[in-house]
Structure 1
């Protein structure tokens, strides 16, 4: 009969092939046997309590982390010591990509709720990627997705007014929820309004005004952390209007 420890380890062992967010994560496009090879790199997934740090700026790169359950925020400290939120991550998304170029993490990662991650040892991942072209391709796609996300963010900060930024943020969350099989119209914000403001480059009072504007226009209702999108097309038109102004 197995002892308690081996029983626990067996049940904590990650199984990529049985994961509910497989189609959004690193194994995207891999065959069954290839996923099993990747699975050997994930020694044991682990839990991160709400508010706890997964890694800090300056930490050495050891692993990439696939979010399995919960959500995270990444942030950096500005010159004057204020927190600048750089992103929000959901199940199926990767954390730690910021450290690949220098082998040091450039940002901090905090759990926004009780979460669980699958650590993937980076040196072992690189070795396996050399053996599996499909894994290298998948890794390249994830890195490309990060670059596109950064470009979208720069576009938003450079070209959009506060209401347009908030609308774009809600649309982005809506699309990501939809990809995960959840409602695209009703969802719960895991982050505080101050964190949304930091991410969008807006003051808290501007976020609160923007929420009131979206409500008054019948586009979206945000009560506490509960979001109800009432007019998806209207939100999209608000964001598209920004691009029309620029052209």
Structure 2
């Protein structure tokens, strides 16, 4: 996916269809390549960005996974998103020109570093890139509203089922299995994200397994009855 230089070649990246190069032609991808740099690998628990730090770059996830969270005045963490390959991190900082949340690696992760100033200049020249930026930002806003709906209108079991279904859909978009995948986040992270206790998360996963809907082995989840799980998420 990369060569020995510091540049990332979008044409050869398996995540290009989900990321900034979406619907760009070869010339457009080549121009985008000129500003994208390889960020050094970050290890599990490393912090990529801190809330309040100046927004200089967007980060596209090439491999691995991360979580974004805020910390309130009482020091309480609230997870607001999980990032998978193809996702772009940093849109929440565009309004104030500074990061609004912390982002931490859940496992060893590789990222593309995209300078904001250069990206803005390039987007002015390339309508396709500008449209993709709008598309990605729109998707992030929709996901945030969907999460609020999940927390407000669903039971605990529906929240967990919806989380598992959504993850399955995201993995499928990335050409991975939607029936069997690994949870890189802890049960505590899932509970924090869904507004549920760790005990509730563990109990619901056990119940779903006893009912034959899923099979859970440590962090590996296998969806046995995807249609039934989807019904439970409604």
TM-score (norm 2): 0.96
CA offset at residue 181 of structure 1?
1.3
8 Å Cα contact 2:7-2:34 kept in structure 1: no
Q: Quick one: distance in 1 between partners of 2:205 and 2:3?
A: 46
CA offset at residue 209 of structure 1?
1.1
Match of 1:176 in 2: 170
Could you tell which deviates more after superposition, 135-144 or 221-230? 221-230
For residues 142-181 of structure 1, what are the structure 2 equivalents within 5 Å? 142-181=136-175
Match of 1:113 in 2: 107
Moved segments of 4+, more than 3 Å:
8-12
Aligned length: 233
Equivalent position SS for 1:109: strand
Two-structure CA RMSD over aligned residues (Å): 1.3
Equivalent position SS for 2:35: coil
Q: Quick one: distance in 1 between partners of 2:9 and 2:87?
A: 16
Unmatched runs of 5 consecutive residues or more in structure 2:
none
CA offset at residue 10 of structure 1?
3.3
8 Å Cα contact 1:14-1:45 kept in structure 2: no
Match of 2:207 in 1: 213
Unmatched runs of 5 consecutive residues or more in structure 1:
1-7, 241-247
Please, which of 166, 187, 195 is the counterpart of residue 189 of structure 2? 195
Return the index of the structure with the highest Cα Rg. 1
Please, which of 62, 65, 69 is the counterpart of residue 68 of structure 1? 62
CA offset at residue 9 of structure 1?
8.0
TM-score (norm 1): 0.91
Could you tell which deviates more after superposition, 133-142 or 14-23? 14-23
